[in-house]
Structure 1
Amino acid sequence: MVSRNNNDGDTLELDVLELFCAWPETSLKLVLDCVASDDPGTRLVGLWGLSIIDFGGTKYFGLVADAVCDPEPWVRADVMSTLSTIFGTGDPSRARALLITGTDDAAPEVRSAAVAALGSSRDDMVTDILVARADDVDPGVRYGLAWSLARRPASKARAALERLTTDEDADVRDAARKVLGVPPSSL
């Protein structure tokens, strides 16, 4: 059943989904065991499994949401990404609150994932939160922020993007310029 000649993971993912459908009770037990593991990589697999088994986040949202407190930053960052998918609709207000909190996480990869996840939310409060990240110490966060501020009508978003066009990091400057539609030679 598993294709051994596909290195991109797509076939493996489809095969795992088939297994979830064929043995739902066993799959759920194994996924929950993974979530409870001491190994962060195994927890990550379990969290991914829950987001698939509970596609809309109606049953196991809490287990995934609780992982925003995981000791491993890369697990917390992955949770930020998961909360921005259809899974986050299981509890949209809690997902949003967790994403907003993630913008202040100690780990830059979590802040970056949270900023990216909030990019699709267009309300003023989220814009204010994103604009506040324009001074983040991590260039990866500022880079993602530039893209998350794209197509926001607020003047404060434009002002933050204009500041980012002079950022010390070349990638951040380039992203801000692209978002603003400004040719690199114009600044």
Structure 2
Amino acid sequence: MRGSAIATTTGTRWSSDLLDLFSAWPEASLRLVLGCVASDDPGTRLVGIWGLSVIDFGGTKYFGAVADSASDPDPRVRADVMGTLGTIFGVGDPPRALAILIAGTRDPAPEVRGAAVAALGSSHDETVTDLLVARTDDTDRRVRFRAAWSLARRPGLHVRAALEQLAADADADVRDAARAVLELPTRSL
């Protein structure tokens, strides 16, 4: 078994064990997870955000605690918040989740911008489409790569023009993503 497969299996087992603990001791688990969110250590805060997204699956009780972490000083934490708000957790407060994701596309850290762009891929709001098109000019190749995939199946000449520009990008991964997206059928409104 290769290293990444072992890590995935171990991570899955670890996650399953934590889910069992959350079920067996919900009050204690919630206290611990909230303590993690408030930790001084960014890695521990990441664990707390993950825990809240599991304990409060639809973001109905602890949406604010995760959303407030969008202003965390550590870009890894902010990026994780973007990913979390792009899941079912974001339905806890859709307008606030969307506003945070949109703001995340302008974050100084490329990992945050990329995570926000990826999370916005499921939103087909015209404003979001225009924002994703704007991210195709991002200075970071990973953000442009995610923008290409997030533009998949969106209608509009401006979308096609942005994807064609990415299909000639200096980065091979960005070019390949844009070319693959251009081959997909476009969704009609």
Task: Please indicate, yes or no, whether the TM-score normalized by the shorter chain is above 0.5.
Answer: yes
| AA at the equivalent of 1:23 | W
* 1:157 alignment partner in structure 2: 159
1:159 deviation in Å?
Answer: 0.8
* 1:111 alignment partner in structure 2: 113
1:118 deviation in Å?
Answer: 0.4
Alignment of 1:62-81 (within 5 A): 62-81=64-83
SS in 1 for 2:155: coil
* 2:138 alignment partner in structure 1: 136
Aligned-pair identity (%): 69
* 1:94 alignment partner in structure 2: 96
RMSD: 1.2
1:10 deviation in Å?
Answer: 1.2
**Segments of 4+ in structure 1 off by > 6 A?**
none
Q: TM-score, normalised by structure 2?
A: 0.91
| AA at the equivalent of 2:81 | V
Distance 1:96 1:8 in 2: 33
1:169 deviation in Å?
Answer: 1.0
Unmatched 5+ residue regions in structure 1? 1-5, 183-187
Distance 2:86 2:114 in 1: 13
| AA at the equivalent of 1:151 | R
1:7 deviation in Å?
Answer: 4.0
* 1:42 alignment partner in structure 2: 44
Distance 1:170 1:14 in 2: 37
Residue 168 (structure 1) aligned to one of 147, 167, 170: 170
Q: Does 1:179 align with 2:167?
A: no
| AA at the equivalent of 1:157 | V
1:8 deviation in Å?
Answer: 3.1
* 1:53 alignment partner in structure 2: 55
1:134 deviation in Å?
Answer: 1.2
The number of residue pairs the alignment matches comes to 177
